[in-house]
Amino acid sequence: MSEPYQEGIKHVIALDANNDILGGFFAIPADRPPGKEDCDLGWMFTIELHIRFRHEVMDAIVNKVHEVTKSAGFKRIITEMGTEAGAKFLSKKYNYVQTPTENQHNRWTKELI
């Protein structure tokens, strides 16, 4: 895992009108090293919200994450999902595809192009 303040890493945080945290996605690669076409993501969360509002918050966060990684020049995201709910949301809404390997059974890929 990257250091919290490592150069080239961003954190996307959703706040409400009172600046209370609603959710976030941490450790997003914002700089692409030469020759590297894919990136891995950190972890995401939302606070306990009504399901409809939670999806709206996550939509905004994930769209920003895809914008940051695509702007950095990455062609795809290859990551492991921590929860079944996260995998379900990202696969249905954003076309993340399960691409397991022998060592990573919960591996998912998202093409950014």
Residue 7's pLDDT is what?
Answer: 74
pLDDT at 8: 85
pLDDT of residue 1: 39
The residue type at 4? P
| Torsion over CA: 15, 16, 18, 23 (sign) | negative
The verdict on domain 9-111 having CATH code 3.40.630 is yes
Q: Pick out the chain residues at pLDDT < 50.
A: 1-3
Nearest of 74, 48, 65 to residue 12 by alpha carbon = 65
Nearest CA among 95, 103, 34, 97 for reference residue 66 = 95
Q: What pLDDT sits at residue 95? A: 93
pTM of the model: 0.85
Our CA dihedral for 113, 40, 45, 51, rounded to 10 degrees, sits at 30
pLDDT by residue (tens digit) across 77-106?
Answer: 999 988 888 888 889 999 999 999 998 888
Collect all residues with Cβ–Cβ distance below 8 Å to 60 and sequence separation of at least 6: 14
